[in-house]
Chain A
């Protein structure tokens, strides 16, 4: 650790650990977001290194590093960069619309080290020969927006962004854009729509793959904040050093945002494929165990859209392909832990309601299906479920995400896991995401749902229909 003048032991979500630090090295400084601090701790050295090399060399370095996208899909950034057809103008769009339930790592990156991100943007633009970058920051993240705006102003003034960067003939503009607050805008094509000034609704891929037809229908690279935050370190330390961390398939580190029933939730930077979920939940330098010494009931390994894991998956290394083959996804690195006291039906309802409320309404299965799922779950939760409702929930899921939905295995059932990703009848993965909590919860905890379904014929006779009136009636008759 570099000596700091103002040490912040544990604040605003970030938790330090002994592992290597690629993107969070500056996080413990109180003034980590300032240009002064950035420059005192090697800020923009990566850019200087990059500018000394040819763009192709820089892009090659990133490709060699096998830097996987940190937004959720985990596609190698270096390969993504190679997809653009020779059409100009082209754009870089940075996806800072972090809104996956449970995820708050990019927020810290933007609030605590905006210069690292800006440096990453400029390096990317240089590597790809772009001179226009749009930094799209989620509408609700006011502090991140303020700090990026200040950092951009400082970086422009200091010559790290703008015309003739550091005296070279490279000119790159970075534009900060604030979202209006919609989960779906985290999806890259919806983000592009929103950036163009339209309602954030996803475009259909194909034909609207951003690398070919993105912003203003021009080739566009959309990268996650954390992905680009890796670049300054990568430029200074090289691809070999980068690959020496983490596993072969997933080199480097990942920021994991842990929330829920652990003793020390927070954002941790961990080596990929080295640390297991058990290490993370129970390790002394990580979460230090489940709260109150309770037993683990379930956990979501990669954001609200990920199918759930259980005790059986605790020894899985935290690495995208391992998690994917076991029936879920590492996604955006948001891990939500549920202990034995959790009301599974409410947890499931809460997640499904999120997707129902955030559905953009563009395509039918998601618009109607998620809302229906929420209604049925709400009804079950209120005690007005019918025995057939559980199968109905799974059937609605089939209309949104047909075929075998990804699920984790569990020993008691002796079933193979269904690997990620799910199939979809929708335009984007939002609809199928709503199926994840239902499939996971209903399969594993069916009895908890059934316990809420009235057994007595008398009650089901008094509530043959549902809706507000029926609820009232029921309450009166009680």
Chain B
């Protein structure tokens, strides 16, 4: 390092901006250095989270690096020592105004009817830097408008200024290169290829970053004007990532969700589920008043009648208070941390109910989520680290996390070791991709730990095991993304795998891949069997599976559903159905009538997304605020208020009657929350990462026996798709049609044994059920496995799953 270099590293790079002496950070782009020093340079193509391309030429400024002044795009130019920059002189102004005039010659002046009008960078820059009048008298370019390039996104090509933002995003950030430049010169246009719609899970981001109104989202198109919108910052509660969002409403209705650039979490990106899922909050199917079941009790004769809140609360209190041992509580992941605390306090301190589980048997056991050393997202994707993926496809389950992981693997040299039942969206970026046969996860990781690398173990080659063991055993930091990759496989194998991985990499940290909203918050608040508030182990308590079994066995007769739909979400459909058939009292707290709450005796309407204040604990343990933007629908109430009401009906006082009092109480009673600054939560930062160290560790116990391989059958792999029959997707008008039909996917070799053509129907059979499904070839399935996604239209794969079998094997015939 030379003397100048070392000074630069210490003090920054000196440069002159409009004659003023300033310093830039080493390697900082001129456009960023100017922005940081209060000088905004207009831009269209430049976006901080994407590679600069220098295409729009809007950010040209006059730069002198010692060889005379020249116009340079400031987005492509790192500041060099003693660089002299003029952003406001005549040369720069003439260049910028010239570029704007050229942009506008073919841009339609339809701002009054354009959704972007009022928040349009082209409009703003035209006012600030443009020539004022057009000298273009020829005919402008015309295209058919708009063309839907996917179910969610529309393209008005004549508005497009060809800045390469959307195309770059889809190629570089999302890895779904589905929109491209076509043609050349002034005939260049952005478009999709025929029969290849822009069906990316991240398509909505292109609408947000489009600097003109060329890309518009169907849910928002012609809905509102930007100046009529008010906004508040909040957190996406759809999955455990907890992406930061801005909620926008007009006339007390949510109309748009935008991604907020949070360094720690989502970098400004959102999945389309997080972006457009708000539609469900406006759905006309929302529950607006407390309901009581009417009719004979026969399924064919179920009806509901509205009742008053105090009656509903009294009946709920009566059902919960009667016999605590005979009550089971399922759910709570939809609730805010505050509501989870209120319910947890009600159940544990007032009603003395211990059979509580927020997980529906489709996540990971609470002790693993709470008790393993936790990694933050930033630690997980830190350059040079090793990530072990033992979870479902992140693109389907935690899409914004997927973007961070993809970036880490592609740009930052993070090695991904995949130990999953089938290939995921990260496979092509993974250093190693191991696919143990269902049931063999424990034995495969054990072989890695023991160094038995000869032959194959559980369908994995010894050489791959060795390579994985070497990567995990290296001195690079290791993070395990731990989730449920296969609903048709017992989570006990996951426990064995964790044990083995900790032998190879004792300092490994874990990031729980919890797909279900605020499940981490629910666990932390004690809505988990065997755990009290703050992750403190307690005695007793049944898991969801045990609760359902107890209902079937007659030991539990009252079920309370905290926003949960076990009848659809619990993997074992037969067990859930039997339990719901037999339960005496069913009380549901929900925003919609789900298949479970439809059967309830009492339905309590809860305020939904965008209607409540509170906070959210994401998978890394970061607490961020959820904010109310609109009034809650009808008589629906905040979840925590319902808990307070039930407590009152039981003659108890939870000790709080406002959210502020609740938070004080929460901080006083849960150690990890004692330092939370509730008033400033998430203001100007990403929210605090709460302490997740425990004075206990998960117990691993006996290793589970590897189930025998059924040579005549195929091991079933069931996982989630982003678009499914979930309540949120189905109540969002534009998303409801997106789930694909359920089908059976097989490896090529298994397929060829059974069928001759894709799309043929085959019969599948287990001890439980049989079905007739369309079969396709899927190279992501290893030989001997069959893949059917969970909760898709056409077939409920839960009918095949039995939680008592460690793996589910199906027989397939023509």
Contact = CB atoms under 8 A, between A and B. Distances in A.
Interface of A: 182, 199, 204, 206-207, 356-365, 367-372, 375-376, 379, 386, 392, 395, 398-400, 402-403, 423-427, 465-468
A375 B98 CA distance: 18
A157 to B, nearest CB: 40
B106 A398 contact: no
B192 to A, nearest CB: 16
Nearest to A356: B185
A402 B57 contact: no
B301 interface: no
A362 B102 contact: no
A370 B106 CA distance: 13
B99 A399 contact: yes
Q: Which 9 A-B pairs have the closest CB atoms?
A: A399-B98, A361-B188, A371-B186, A368-B102, A467-B139, A359-B185, A375-B138, A204-B54, A361-B184
Contacts of A359: 184-186
Contact of A204 (B76, B99, B181, B186): B76
A167 B58 CA distance: 56
Contact of A361 (B53, B99, B101, B186): B186
B723 to A, nearest CB: 32
Given A368-B106, A368-B186, A466 B139 contact: yes
B187 interface: yes
B57 A426 contact: yes
B102 A372 contact: yes
Given A361-B185, A364-B55, A425 B101 contact: no
Contacts of A370: 185-186
A399 B104 CA distance: 13
A468 B139 CA distance: 9
Given A204-B76, A356-B185, A423-B70, A364 B57 contact: yes
Interface string B163-207: 000000000000000000101111110000000000000000000
Nearest to A398: B98
Contacts of A364: 55-58, 99, 102-103, 161-162
Interface string B125-146: 0000000000111110000000
A465 B71 CA distance: 35
B138 A372 contact: yes
A199 B182 CA distance: 9
Contacts of B57: 363-365, 425-427
B706 to A, nearest CB: 46
A402 B161 CA distance: 22
B105 A372 contact: yes
A386 B138 CA distance: 12
A392 B181 contact: no
21 contacts: A204-B73, A206-B77, A359-B184, A361-B186, A361-B188, A363-B54, A365-B98, A370-B185, A370-B186, A372-B102, A379-B138, A399-B95, A399-B98, A400-B98, A423-B70, A425-B57, A425-B71, A425-B98, A426-B57, A466-B139, A467-B139
Given A207-B76, A359-B186, A361-B181, A399 B101 contact: yes
Contacts of B99: 364-365, 399, 425
Nearest to A199: B181
A465 B138 CA distance: 7
Contacts of A424: 71
A328 B637 CA distance: 78
B91 interface: yes
B54 A357 contact: no
Nearest to B186: A371
A23 B139 CA distance: 50
Contacts of A357: 185
Contacts of B139: 466-468
B178 to A, nearest CB: 16
Contacts of B76: 204, 206-207
Nearest to B189: A361
Contact of B138 (A356, A369, A400, A466): A466
A364 B60 CA distance: 12
A356 B185 CA distance: 7
A376 B94 CA distance: 21
B98 A402 contact: yes
Nearest to A182: B184
A367 B188 contact: yes
A425 B138 contact: no
A465 B103 CA distance: 21
Nearest to B188: A361
Interface string B406-427: 0000000000000000000000
B186 A367 contact: yes
Nearest to B136: A372
B56 A425 contact: no
Nearest to B62: A402
Given A361-B184, A362-B55, A425-B71, A368 B103 contact: yes
Contacts of B135: 392, 395
A367 B181 contact: no
Contact of B186 (A182, A356, A402, A468): A356
B71 A358 contact: no
A360 B138 contact: no
Given A204-B73, A206-B76, A466-B139, A365 B102 contact: yes
B73 A376 contact: no
Contact of A363 (B56, B98, B105, B186): B56
Contacts of A386: 137
A251 B484 CA distance: 73
Contacts of B161: 364
Contacts of B53: 204
Contact of A371 (B73, B137, B185): B185
A360 B184 CA distance: 5
Contacts of A199: 181, 184
Interface in B61-93: 70-71, 73, 76-77, 91
A273 B103 CA distance: 44
Given A361-B162, A392-B135, 20 more contacts: A182-B184, A204-B73, A207-B76, A357-B185, A359-B186, A361-B183, A361-B185, A363-B55, A364-B161, A367-B162, A367-B186, A369-B102, A386-B137, A398-B98, A423-B70, A424-B71, A425-B60, A426-B57, A427-B57, A467-B139
